[in-house]
Amino acid sequence: MTAERPNALRLNAADNVVVAMRRLIAGERIDGEGLATAEAILSGHKVAVRPIRAGETVHKYGQVIGVATLDIAPGAHVHTHNMAMSSLREGAQAGAVQRQEAPRSFEGYRRATGKVGVRNYIGVLTSVNCSATVARHIAEAAERRGLLDAYPDIDGIVPITHASGCGMAGSGEGFEVLRRTLWGTAANPNFGGVLLVGLGCEVIQIGRLKSDYGLTEGDGFQSFTIQDTGGTRRAIEAGLERLADMLPKVGAARRTTVSASEITLGLQCGGSDAWSGVTSNPALGVASDRLAGLGGTVILSETPEIYGAEHLLIARAASTEVADKLRARLAWWEGYTARNGAEMDNNPGPGNKAGGLTTILEKSLGAVAKAGGSPLMDVVEYAEPIAAKGLVFMDSPGFDPCSATGQVASGATMIAFTTGRGSAFGCKPSPSIKLSSNTDIYRRMDEDIDIDCGPIAVGEATIEQKGAEILDYLLEVASGRKTKSEALGYGGAEFVPWQIGAVM
C-alpha cells in the first residue's frame, strides 16, 4: 500500500509557515506539525505553524517573505490580509556551485558570424509601427504564393512588428534601448535572413541604424522604406522580391553537430503560483546549472522579480564588479518606480496571489530558483549583447513578452518558461518550452505545456530527475523538435520592446 502523502509541506526548518499540499478544511490536523487549521486553506497557500506577532517577520524557504500586520495564531491562513512587504533580507546565502558535465551536442545551424542557431527563420523586421502592416502583408503574401514550398529547411517567415520607433527623442535611454533591441533581434542566429522595413521619416532611421551597427546589405540582410519605394503596394512587392533573393542562401543552410555550449537559454516564469518556487523553478535551475556546466549561456531576467532575493545572486557574483552592477540596476528600478508613482511590491499580480503568493519577496525567492546555483558571471542591460558564458543577468521588466524580447535580442536562441497558473506564449525566432509547476494546470493545458514538474511536489519525481528531463528536452528542441507553443503557432505577435521615456 502506498503511504498517504502529507497534507502540508515544510520547505525549511527555520520557517514559521508551511504550504498546503491540497485544500485543507477548517480543523484539519496538519501532518507533522502538531496543530490543526483554524480555517479552510487553499492548495499552495501558507499556514502559520507557530504564533507570529504583529511586526514579526514571516519565513519561507528559510528567508524573509514579509512581515505580519496582525497577530497570527498557529493554524491560521497567512496571506494578504495579515502579511505585508518587509525591507529585511535574512537567511542563509549559499555560495556558487559550478557543475561539471560530460560533453553533449545538438544539431544546429552554424552562421557566418560563428554563432549557432536552433531554427532557420527569415524575419521581416520593422523600424517603426508605421511599417507594421506592410511587414505583415509581405509575410502573408509570401505564404499565399508558396515562396517557401521549395525550401523545406526554412522554418518560416516571421513579421516582427512593434508599437514604437517614432514619437520619441532621437537620443537617450529609450532611443538606445529600442535600437539595441532591433539590431540584436536581427543578429539572432535563429534568423538565416532579415528584411528590415521602415516608413522613411521615423526617428529610428534605417540608414543610421545600419551605419552605427555595421549592417551591410547582402544575402542575409536587406532593407528599404515604404516612402522611397512608392507606397504600400509597391513596398509589398519590393519586399517579396527581396525575400525571393534571400531564399536560396537561407534555404541552403543545413544542421550540423555542434557542442551544447553553443546554446543560449533565456529563463522566464509567468502566471506563477506557490508551487513554482518548489517544483518547476528549482528543476529548471538544475537544467540551467547543467547547461552552464556544458559551457552554455543562461540568461536570468525580470529585475522586479528578483527584488527581495538579490542577496542570493550577489552572494554568487563572480566579482565585486558584477555584484555592483546588479545593485546599480536594482537602484535604478527603485528610482524608476518611484518616479512613476509605483512600488516594487506592486507585483505579484492577482493571479499570483490567487495561487498563494503574497509579496514580491516570496515571488522573487521562488523565481530566482530558475537560475540554479551557478556563479553569476555578468550583468547586462536590456537587449545588450552577451559575451560571457554561464549565468548572466539581463535587466528587464517583469512583463514576460517584454523580458523575453530583450533576451532574444541579447542572443537567446531558446526560452524555458515555467508557469503555475498557465501562460500562453511563444517567442519566434526562439522556441519556447513550457514547464508547469503543478499537475492540475498541466492536465488542463496539456496542449500548451511541454513538461509537468508537478510530480516533484507529491514525491513522484525529484528535482534532479526533472532537471535532467528538461535538459534532454532542450537538446531535442535545439535539434529541431517542435515545442507545443510552436505547434500552436505562437511567437509572431509577442515581440514587445521595452519602451522607456516620454512618448511625444
Give the CA dihedral 207, 209, 215, 218, nearest 10 degrees.
-50
Taking alpha carbons only, the member of 33, 3, 9 closest to residue 275 is 9
The stretches of 128-231 forming alpha helices (DSSP H) are: 132-144, 173-187, 206-213, 226-229
Q: Cell for 93?
A: 546565502
Q: What is the pLDDT of residues 59-95, one digit of tens each?
A: 999 999 999 999 999 999 999 999 998 887 776 567 7
Helix (H) or strand (E) holding 250: helix 232-251
Please give the model's pTM, rounded to 2 decimal places.
0.94
Q: Cell for 299?
A: 540568461
Whole-number Å distance between alpha carbons of 122 and 142: 11
Q: Check residues 334 and 378 and name the one with the higher pLDDT.
A: 378
pLDDT at 1 over 50: no
Query: What average pLDDT does range 148-170 have in this prediction?
Result: 95
Whole-number Å distance between alpha carbons of 314 and 320: 9
Dihedral (CA of 237, 244, 204, 429) sign? positive
Dihedral (CA of 309, 313, 316, 319) sign? negative
Amino acid at 158: V
In three-state form (DSSP H/G/I as H, E/B as E, the rest C), the secondary structure along 336-382 is HHHHCCCCHHHCCCHHHHHCCCCCHHHHHHHHHHHHCCCCEEEEECC
Q: What is the pLDDT of residues 33-53, one digit of tens each?
A: 999 999 999 999 999 999 999
Helices (H) and strands (E) in the chain, counts: 14, 23
* pLDDT of amino acid 308: 86
C-alpha separations of 413 from 76, 384, 408, 422 in Å? 46, 15, 7, 23
pLDDT band at residue 172 using 50, 70 and 90 as cut-offs: very high
Taking alpha carbons only, the member of 430, 403, 383 closest to residue 121 is 430
Task: Name the residue with cell 497557500.
Answer: 45
Q: What is the pLDDT of residues 244-272, one digit of tens each?
A: 999 999 999 999 999 999 999 999 998 88
